[in-house]
């Protein structure tokens, strides 16, 4: 009888917790480990796939399937959900080789699946529609070797050109190879476009540069209006609150965005009259002063470490989220003031970011925990064919699926 009473009391406590969770925000399936995660009221989250090897950025193909860069496995995987039950049917490896060392993201363009690796951009194709991506081509290796910040990201712009972001080789040392800490621009076959800002430079390493001074712009998007918006991970060693993390940078041809000499000082919406300030650790070179650097347009707390970003253009989330940026914050790993690992919603109005709020949280055990030791760390985000949001977690190998239920 005593054991039966203990069981009933435990069951009642679980029921009460579930009820409180329902009032506090969104719901999750009680059967999976994602029950610790929190989403806004009316949303639900579940584990879509698990057991991946450091999944980073993702894309949805023309077939509606999710394609994921599996960095540590040197592979690209497809995760189909043919029965639409919200869970991947299988993990199908469509490409795996040393050519995909440090593969970071994938992007569909003109029938090819492009992949940014540590040292190159590759592309793959299922030429005979048998489900095997047997055709592989090197698009370009006109990319600096992966050192320190090893991620490279490829996206195609509305102009049909291929843009590639490359991280810096150090925390705050000026680069000897100008292709680092930059966004590069190529034709789809890897050649240099004639209208690149430095297409005819005497230094061939400057020819692919579209914009520079971007320490580690891990991801970027093209807005419906054709703007290139990138994020950036700021320098370490300036304290817990400096510099603010640059979440939205309006990247334009030929401009310099400050690193390693200057940074945007404002937090949140950056006013039009704000100028960048000096990082006094680094003697000025290239720039004559911080007035020559272009500030970000929206920032957040230092050490938030933005990685993947996507602009929500689906129709199944509430109207509030249409046009909203959803950004995966990897969070801090060594800050004395820990920053959360989460998905953050950056609200966009009239084509400009105006505010931010939590969207997917619960990866840490406490607010004092740095994300390097957390249960999970979001890395990539992608919007599915039915308007759902997919979130990759390179810490525990999961892919999460967030849907709006209205409940």
Task: Please give the order of strands across the beta sheet that includes 92-96.
Answer: 55-60, 66-70, 75-79, 92-96
pLDDT at 226 over 70: yes
Q: Which residues contact 352 (CB under 8 A, 6 or more apart)?
A: 269, 297
What is the average pLDDT across 384-389?
Answer: 97
Residue 222 in any domain: the answer is: yes
Which pLDDT does position 33 carry in this prediction?
80
Measure the CA–CA gap between 29 and 212, rounded to whole angstroms.
44
Which pLDDT does position 129 carry in this prediction?
84
Residue 390 in any domain: the answer is: yes
Residue carrying the six token digits 């910040």: 149
Residue carrying the six token digits 């918006």: 229
Which pLDDT does position 128 carry in this prediction?
85
CA distances, 128 to each of 125, 132, 258 (Å): 9, 8, 47
pLDDT at 4 over 50: no
Span 323-348, pLDDT tens digits: 999 999 999 998 899 999 999 999 99
Give the max Cα distance, the chain. Answer: 87
CA distances, 31 to each of 35, 46, 91, 387, 391 (Å): 8, 9, 21, 24, 19
The percentage of the chain sitting over the pLDDT mark of 70, rounded to a whole number, equals: 92
Residue 373 in any domain: the answer is: yes
Containing structural domain, residue 111: 31-404
Span 50-73, pLDDT tens digits: 999 999 999 999 999 999 999 999
Residue 8 in any domain: the answer is: no
The CATH number of the domain holding residue 207 is 2.120.10.30
Residue 25 in any domain: the answer is: no
How many domains does the chain contain in total? 1
Mean pLDDT of the chain: 92
* Cβ atoms < 10 Å from Cβ of 152: 25
Which pLDDT does position 130 carry in this prediction?
80
Residue 15 in any domain: the answer is: no
Residue 201 in any domain: the answer is: yes
Measure the CA–CA gap between 172 and 109, rounded to whole angstroms.
34
Residue 46 in any domain: the answer is: yes
**Is 13 exposed, middle or buried, given 0-12, 13-18 or 19+ CB atoms closer than 10 A?**
exposed
């Amino acid at each position: 009888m005593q054991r039966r009473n203990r069981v009933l009391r435990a069951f009642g406590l679980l029921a009460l917790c579930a009820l409180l969770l329902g009032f506090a925000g969104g719901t999750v399936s009680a059967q999976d480990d994602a029950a610790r995660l929190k989403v806004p009221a009316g949303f639900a989250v579940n584990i879509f796939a698990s057991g991946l090897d450091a999944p980073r950025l993702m894309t949805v193909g023309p077939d509606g399937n999710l394609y994921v860069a599996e960095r540590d496995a040197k592979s690209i995987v497809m995760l189909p959900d043919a029965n639409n039950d919200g869970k991947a049917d299988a993990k199908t490896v469509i490409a795996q080789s040393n050519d995909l060392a440090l593969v970071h993201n994938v992007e569909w363009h003109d029938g090819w699946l492009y992949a940014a690796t540590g040292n190159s951009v590759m592309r793959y194709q299922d030429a005979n529609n048998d489900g095997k991506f047997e055709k592989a081509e090197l698009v370009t290796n006109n990319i600096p070797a992966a050192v320190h910040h090893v991620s490279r990201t490829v996206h195609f712009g509305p102009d049909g050109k291929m843009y590639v972001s490359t991280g810096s080789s150090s925390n705050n040392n000026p680069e000897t190879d100008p292709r680092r800490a930059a966004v590069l621009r190529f034709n789809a076959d890897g050649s240099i476009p004639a209208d690149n800002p430095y297409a005819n430079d005497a230094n061939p390493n400057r020819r692919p540069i579209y914009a520079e001074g971007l320490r580690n712009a891990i991801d970027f998007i093209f807005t419906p209006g054709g703007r290139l918006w990138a994020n950036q991970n700021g320098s370490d060693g300036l304290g817990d609150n400096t510099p603010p993390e640059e979440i939205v940078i309006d990247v334009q041809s030929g401009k310099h965005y400050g690193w390693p000499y200057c940074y945007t000082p404002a937090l949140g919406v950056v006013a039009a009259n704000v100028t960048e300030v000096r990082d006094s650790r680094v003697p000025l070179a290239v720039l004559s002063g911080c007035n020559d650097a272009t500030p970000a347009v929206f920032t957040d707390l230092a050490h938030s470490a933005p990685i993947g970003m996507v602009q929500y253009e689906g129709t199944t989330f509430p109207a509030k989220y249409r046009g909203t940026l959803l950004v995966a914050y990897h969070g801090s790993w060594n800050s004395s003031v820990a920053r959360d690992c989460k998905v953050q919603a950056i609200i966009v109005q009239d084509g400009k970011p105006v505010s931010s709020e939590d969207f997917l949280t619960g990866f840490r055990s406490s607010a004092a925990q740095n994300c390097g030791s957390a249960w999970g760390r979001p890395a990539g985000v992608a919007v599915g064919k039915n308007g759902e949001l997919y979130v990759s977690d390179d810490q525990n190998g999961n892919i999460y699926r967030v849907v709006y239920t209205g409940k």
